[in-house]
Amino acid sequence: MGTFPRRFWSFSLKKRPTIIDVAKEAGVSKSTVSRVIADSGQGVSPQTKERVLEAINELGYVRDRVASSMRTARTHSIMLAIPDITNPFWPAVARGVQDIMDIEGYAVIFANSDWRKSREHSFLEMAQSLRIDGIIINPVAVRDQDLQSLKIPIVLLGIHQGYNFDMVGTNSREGARDALNHLIDLGHRRVGLILGKRQGRNKDSRLPFYLSVLADAGISSDDCFVVTVPFNQNGSREGTNKILTRNQWPTAIFCENDILAIGAMQAVHSAGLSIPEDISIIGMDNIFAASTTMPPLTTIHKPKYEIGVQAAKLLLEHIKEKRSALHQVIVSSNLVKRGSTALFMP
Partner DNA sequence: TTGTAAGCGTTATCAT
Partner DNA sequence: ATGATAACGCTTACAA
Residues that bind a copy of itself (CB under 8 A): 16, 62-67, 69-70, 75, 77, 84-86, 88, 90-92, 94-95, 98, 102, 105, 107-112, 119, 125-126, 128-131, 151, 262, 266, 288-289, 292-294
Phi-psi region of 286 (alpha: psi -120 to 50; beta: other; left: phi over 0): left
Per CB under 7 A, does 19 bind DNA? yes
Torsion, CA 127, CA 128, CA 133, CA 135, rounded to 10: 50
Per CB under 7 A, does 31 bind DNA? yes
Per-residue x/- marks for DNA, 49-78, CB under 7 A? x-----------x-xx--xx-xxx------
105 binds, among a copy of itself, DNA, none (CB under 5 to 8 A by kind): a copy of itself
61 binds, among DNA, a copy of itself, none (CB under 5 to 8 A by kind): DNA
> Closer CB to DNA, residue 35 or residue 313?
35
Shortest separation between residue 77's beta carbon and DNA, angstroms: 15
**Under 8 Å between Cβ of 288 and 273:** no
- CA–CA–CA angle 86, 92, 93 (5° rounding): 95
User: Would you call 217 helix, strand, or coil by DSSP?
Assistant: coil
Torsion, CA 40, CA 44, CA 46, CA 48, rounded to 10: -130
**Under 8 Å between Cβ of 226 and 195:** yes
Per CB under 7 A, does 181 bind DNA? no
Per CB under 7 A, does 103 bind DNA? no
The distance of Cα 53 from the centroid of its chain, to the nearest Å, equals 40
Could you give the count of Cα atoms lying within 13 Å of 122 in the half-sphere of its Cβ?
A: 8
> Closer CB to a copy of itself, residue 72 or residue 328?
72
Q: If you count them, how many residues does the chain have?
A: 346
292 binds, among DNA, a copy of itself, none (CB under 5 to 8 A by kind): a copy of itself
- The residues binding DNA (CB under 7 A) are 15-16, 18-20, 27-32, 34-35, 37-38, 42-45, 47-49, 61, 63-64, 67-68, 70-72
